[in-house]
């Protein structure tokens, strides 16, 4: 897909490993994120295009005006892009769950982030956070699902253990079983109305949509034809997979065209029937760059570390949603999200309409310097994007972002006007931070996702089993 930028200047090794090795756990990540100075022409998303401007115009003109590549419904994006699009007031418990761990991580930062954490200390932290997560699990679920029908589904999903699902899928007529499993989540009872933004399991594969039964509502039919937004994260890592706090099971591996490195397919196993899947592949041009593409939304509570990553990616995805909305604003700083995710990066986020899915790419490989070296005060500003989808304040952020008619991480701000608008937007976000405590909570979670590798394995530890890379 896209090449990689420059060399390995200013690299930073972040030890995301939990120290709990062991087969089957998708953690143990040594993630040396190496942020480099961007080279605009060396990283390029395939088929990058002016996604928002076209879409905005066409929304006003009606769906008929859409080209197939741009027929993206707002609700479609909301259904599938957020890995864990928390709404409203679901963050208090998350915040609580993070507090202790954050303190410890802050301390660890002060002791020098360039060094790998002592494994024993990290184990202690992991165990501690794992206990917190286990204790908070029910509360997390209730708070996150509160107020919508998701609670019903969550309980239903939980009623089927991962083992049971696995056995079900492996039994007898596998095709039939899997189909029925999908239907269970897609029908009116447990599908659309249930997890409000949960995508069907087949959402990952457009091909699977063709297998769906014809007897569906018009909305469902439309959804089946909709393209699913994805969030791709590029990061320099020598580990086979970045740790995002979730449990993943590898279900396939393929050699992708034009890339000597195989592409691995994972699905979330933290809960039965979780539709979230991800692809992991190394960049063809730079083997040190790991490209992780997420799709779907978790239908279960997440540990803090996973929540953080989910918020980060879902916020990026939410931009697609925002971008589909009309806006009177013109071009703003095309790299605002980039800076929001990593403050010092000038070329991080790319929205690509490359077929068949609209994709937000968060490029963590090309920032000239790291936020981790900065003071805590400096790091508070950038992260709001990570929480953009999670809090009311984030809506402000998202609304602002939706004004972007061009959003390309490949180009520096095209004009002084862009920079100016970006700055004003930053002011808005700053106000949002102070106005919304939940925003701060999500902020902390996002910080954890980037710097707090210690908690990355919490989910796996808390779970009875995990998955790992080969």
- Footprint on this chain of DNA (rule: CB under 7 A): 22-24, 26, 162-163, 166, 169-170, 174-175, 178, 202, 204-211, 248-258, 263-265, 269, 277, 279, 355-356, 465-470
Task: Return the structure tokens found at 127.
Answer: 């165990």
Q: Provide, rounded to whole angstroms, the least separation between the CB of residue 240 and DNA.
A: 9
Interhelix angle 119-145/304-323, rounded to 10 degrees, is 50
Q: Provide, rounded to whole angstroms, the least separation between the CB of residue 439 and DNA.
A: 33
Residues 6+ apart with CB under 8 A from 239: 16, 28, 29, 30, 31, 290
Specify the DSSP element, H or E, that contains 14: strand 11-16
DSSP 248: E
Q: Provide, rounded to whole angstroms, the least separation between the CB of residue 193 and DNA.
A: 23
Q: Provide, rounded to whole angstroms, the least separation between the CB of residue 293 and DNA.
A: 8
In terms of CB distance, is 44 or 208 closer to DNA? 208
In terms of CB distance, is 209 or 325 closer to DNA? 209
Q: How far apart (Å, rounded) are the C-alpha atoms in residues 47 and 45?
A: 6
What value does the CA radius of gyration of the chain take, rounded to a whole number of Å? 20
Please measure the distance between the N-terminal and C-terminal CA atoms of the chain and give it in whole angstroms. Answer: 23
In terms of CB distance, is 341 or 353 closer to DNA? 353
In terms of CB distance, is 134 or 178 closer to DNA? 178
In terms of CB distance, is 145 or 306 closer to DNA? 306
In terms of CB distance, is 27 or 425 closer to DNA? 27
Per DSSP, the three-state class of 141 is: helix
In terms of CB distance, is 269 or 312 closer to DNA? 269
Sheet holding 230-236, edge to edge: 248-255, 262-268, 277-282, 289-295, 230-236, 359-363, 349-352
Q: How far apart (Å, rounded) are the C-alpha atoms in residues 451 and 108?
A: 10
DSSP 382: T
CA 102 to chain centre: 20
In terms of CB distance, is 68 or 112 closer to DNA? 68
Q: Provide, rounded to whole angstroms, the least separation between the CB of residue 80 and DNA.
A: 12
Q: How far apart (Å, rounded) are the C-alpha atoms in residues 150 and 300?
A: 10
Neighbours of 269 (CB within 10 A): 23
Q: Provide, rounded to whole angstroms, the least separation between the CB of residue 332 and DNA.
A: 31
In terms of CB distance, is 65 or 255 closer to DNA? 255
Q: Provide, rounded to whole angstroms, the least separation between the CB of residue 177 and DNA.
A: 7
Q: Provide, rounded to whole angstroms, the least separation between the CB of residue 253 and DNA.
A: 3
Task: Return the structure tokens found at 16.
Answer: 């995301």
Q: Which of 453, 25, 46 is nearest to 283 (CA)?
A: 46
In terms of CB distance, is 55 or 201 closer to DNA? 201
Say if residues 39 and 6 touch (Cβ distance below 8 Å). Answer: yes
Residues 6+ apart with CB under 8 A from 411: 40, 334, 335, 347
In terms of CB distance, is 62 or 258 closer to DNA? 258
Q: Provide, rounded to whole angstroms, the least separation between the CB of residue 50 and DNA.
A: 19
H-only helix segments in 146-195: 150-159, 162-170, 174-186
φ and ψ of 266, to 5 deg? -125, 150
Residues 6+ apart with CB under 8 A from 201: 181, 182, 185, 273, 275, 296
Q: Provide, rounded to whole angstroms, the least separation between the CB of residue 176 and DNA.
A: 8
Task: Return the structure tokens found at 194.
Answer: 């249930």
Q: Provide, rounded to whole angstroms, the least separation between the CB of residue 262 and DNA.
A: 8
């Amino acid at each position: 897909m896209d090449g990689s930028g420059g060399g390995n200047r200013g690299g930073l090794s972040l030890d995301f490993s939990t120290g709990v090795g062991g087969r089957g756990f998708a953690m143990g990540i040594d993630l040396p994120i190496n942020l480099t100075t961007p080279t605009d022409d060396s990283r390029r998303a395939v088929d990058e295009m002016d996604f928002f401007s076209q879409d905005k115009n066409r929304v006003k003109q009606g769906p008929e005006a859409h080209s197939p590549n741009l027929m993206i419904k707002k609700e479609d994006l909301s259904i599938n892009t957020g890995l864990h699009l928390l709404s409203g007031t679901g963050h208090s418990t998350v915040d609580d769950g993070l507090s202790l761990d954050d303190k410890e991580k802050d301390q660890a930062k002060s002791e020098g982030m360039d060094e790998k954490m002592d494994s024993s200390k990290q184990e202690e932290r992991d165990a501690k956070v794992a206990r917190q997560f286990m204790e908070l699990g029910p509360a997390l679920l209730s708070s996150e699902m509160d107020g919508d029908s998701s609670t019903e589904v969550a309980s239903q999903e939980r009623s089927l253990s991962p083992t049971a699902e696995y056995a079900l899928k492996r039994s007898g007529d596998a095709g039939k079983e899997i189909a029925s499993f999908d239907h269970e989540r897609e029908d009116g009872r447990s599908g659309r109305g249930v997890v409000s933004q949960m995508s069907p399991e087949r959402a990952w594969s457009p091909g699977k949509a063709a297998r769906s039964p014809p007897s569906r509502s018009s909305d469902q039919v439309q959804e089946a034809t909709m393209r699913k937004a994805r969030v791709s994260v590029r990061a320099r890592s020598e580990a086979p997979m970045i740790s995002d706090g979730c449990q993943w099971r590898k279900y396939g591996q393929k050699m992708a065209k034009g890339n000597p490195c195989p592409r691995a397919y994972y699905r979330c196993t933290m809960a039965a029937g979780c539709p979230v899947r991800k692809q992991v592949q190394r960049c063809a041009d730079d083997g040190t760059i790991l490209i992780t593409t997420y799709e779907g939304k978790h239908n279960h509570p997440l540990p803090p570390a996973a929540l953080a990553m989910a918020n980060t990616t879902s916020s990026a995805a939410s931009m697609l949603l925002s971008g589909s909305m009309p806006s009177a604003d013109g071009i703003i700083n095309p790299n605002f999200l980039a800076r929001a995710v990593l403050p010092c990066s000038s070329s991080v986020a790319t929205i690509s309409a490359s077929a068949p899915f609209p994709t937000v790419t968060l490029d963590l490989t090309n920032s000239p310097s790291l936020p981790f070296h900065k003071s805590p005060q400096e790091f508070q500003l950038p992260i709001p994007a990570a929480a953009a989808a999670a809090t009311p304040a984030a809506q402000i952020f998202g609304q602002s972002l939706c004004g972007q008619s061009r959003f390309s991480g490949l180009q520096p701000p095209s004009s002084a006007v862009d920079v100016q608008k970006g700055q004003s937007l930053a002011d808005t976000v700053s106000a949002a931070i102070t106005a919304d405590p939940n925003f701060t909570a999500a902020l902390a979670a996002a910080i954890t996702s980037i710097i707090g590798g210690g908690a990355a394995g919490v989910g796996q530890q808390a779970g009875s089993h995990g998955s790992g890379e080969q």
